[in-house]
Amino acid sequence: MAEQTLRTLMRTTDIVVTGLFSPAAVAAIGLADLFARLPLRIGLGLGSGAIALSSQDTGASKTNRASDADADGDTGSDATANRDEAITQAIVVGILAGLPFILFGLFAGEAAIAALGAPPGVAEMGGTYLAIIFATAPARHVALIAARSLQGTGDTRTPMYVNVVSNLLNIVGTVALGLGVGPAPRLEIVGVGVATAFGNLFTAVALLAAIRGPWAAASFARPTDTTIAKQLLEVSAPRIAEGLAATVAEFPFNAILLSFGTEVNAAYQIGRRMHQQVTSPLSRGYHVAASVVVGQALGAGDPDRARFDGWASSALGLVTVGTIGLALFFGAEQFVRLFTDDPATLEYAADFARVYGLASPFLVVYVVLSGALQGGSDTRTPFVARTTGMFGFMVGFSWLFGVRLGYGVEAVYAGIVLYFVWSLLVVAAGFRWGGWAAKAAAMMEERGSVEEAS
């Protein structure tokens, strides 16, 4: 959570600094971030596979070492080797997957943003920002995968230390280069992009050094086992597809917002960012924690404990994040004033913040249960939940009632809430009645991390 607080604060700083330029600059960085989420989704997807296998094999390794302490063969060492190979394979795939984004940013960024209906000035600013951050897409993948690999072993401190330093440097760089503080040149949106790119590189290099060195439980291994590669991709693919589908859905959704005016789009970016700043660190922290504790419980052969840990994590998230969302609902206008003083943008931004505050209880339980399912190697259920929710309600409902039937922005507010309610219902049903525990056990047996049941 500490790590995510700084990461979210870094992104919030980007919006605050950009807001000092113009509402058009806020819209530019918001639209560019739609494309910037593509490498984010791939990195998170591969990280999901890494954290699932890493947490399960860590739990299996501990259990096997304890039960076979006097045996000639230590199956715990097999689980450890499998974990290290899964981590290595995920990082290699992440580097390769990041290369095409470099070319996209250089040659197609501005045109892609213009295709969303952005005015020429917004498209030019957004394209420049996108080219800079896409240059470090492979590093962004490595940073995400390596962090989750370490978290799967139970080590959440090393990624925290690295990301805290990286995000602080990023924040300082954004302020200095964006606004031209002190001897730094005033580069505006270019400076914001340069600071983000530097943060990506720093995080990737530092985490690779941590895994390579003696500080972390995990290490690198030569990739040779095709079973591990198959399982890694099997778990990662739905998560990647989920993220990509969500990103694709953001394009028509932002086009819907732009149809109501640039101020409405900018207000959405501000309202959502305000909500993310005060709730996402906890939600994402619970998501990762649920993946780790559920995965390690399954690795230890205790599915009942895994189920309890998933529900308990969700309850903790509901109490904490739900309360924060309530505070955001009532204090929305005061919060969003930190981002803009434009009257039209301020009014809509406060409404979007209230909507997200109202949706917080549904959102956090959905996020935490998705993490719990991920720890059990089930990434398909969250994929179905998020994809159907975004296209069915956030996009479809908002367009039908907001644009087609003329109810305006109020229909978009309703579409956002309905999206999170639907997603929660789907993942809750999957966690309650799905066969994720048996699937995880079968996958561990297949890759040799545990002994077959006698």
Inter-residue contact 58 to 154 (CB < 8 Å): yes
3-state secondary structure of 222: coil
Separation between Cα atoms, residue 97 and residue 112, nearest integer Å: 20
Separation between Cα atoms, residue 146 and residue 53, nearest integer Å: 13
Separation between Cα atoms, residue 380 and residue 298, nearest integer Å: 18
Which pLDDT value is given to residue 454?
38
Q: Is 448 left (phi over 0), alpha (psi -120 to 50) or beta?
A: left
Neighbours of 205 (CB within 10 A): 15
CA gyration radius, the chain: 22
3-state secondary structure of 271: helix
Inter-residue contact 54 to 152 (CB < 8 Å): yes
The tokens of 452 are what? 């077959």
**DSSP character at residue 449:** S
The tokens of 423 are what? 């997603």
Which pLDDT value is given to residue 67?
57
Which pLDDT value is given to residue 65?
60
Q: From 281, 448, 246, 249, select the one nearest 364 (Cα to Cα).
A: 281
Inter-residue contact 288 to 51 (CB < 8 Å): yes
CA angle 423, 428, 432 (to 5 degrees): 155
What are the residue ranges of helices labelled H in 68-156?
Answer: 75-107, 109-114, 120-134, 137-152
CA angle 161, 162, 168 (to 5 degrees): 90
Q: Tokens 């290595």, residue? A: 88
Instruction: Supply the pTM of this predicted model.
Output: 0.83
Which pLDDT value is given to residue 123?
92
Per-residue pLDDT of the chain (454 residues; tens, 9 = 90+): 888 778 877 877 887 898 888 888 888 888 898 888 889 989 999 999 999 999 999 888 877 665 555 455 444 468 888 999 999 999 999 999 999 999 999 999 999 999 878 889 899 999 999 999 999 999 999 999 999 999 999 899 999 999 999 999 999 999 999 999 989 999 999 999 999 999 999 999 999 999 998 888 888 998 888 999 999 999 999 999 998 898 789 889 988 998 898 888 888 888 887 788 788 889 999 999 999 999 999 999 999 999 999 999 999 999 999 999 999 888 888 777 776 677 778 888 889 989 999 999 999 999 999 999 999 999 999 999 999 999 999 999 999 999 999 999 999 999 999 999 999 999 999 999 999 999 999 999 998 887 654 3
**DSSP character at residue 70:** T
Q: What is the DSSP string of 302-358?
A: -HHHHHHHHHHHHHHHHHHHHHHHHHHHHTHHHHHTTT---HHHHHHHHHHHHHHHH
Which pLDDT value is given to residue 400?
96
Q: Is 329 exposed, middle or buried (0-12, 13-18, 19+ CB in 10 A)?
A: middle
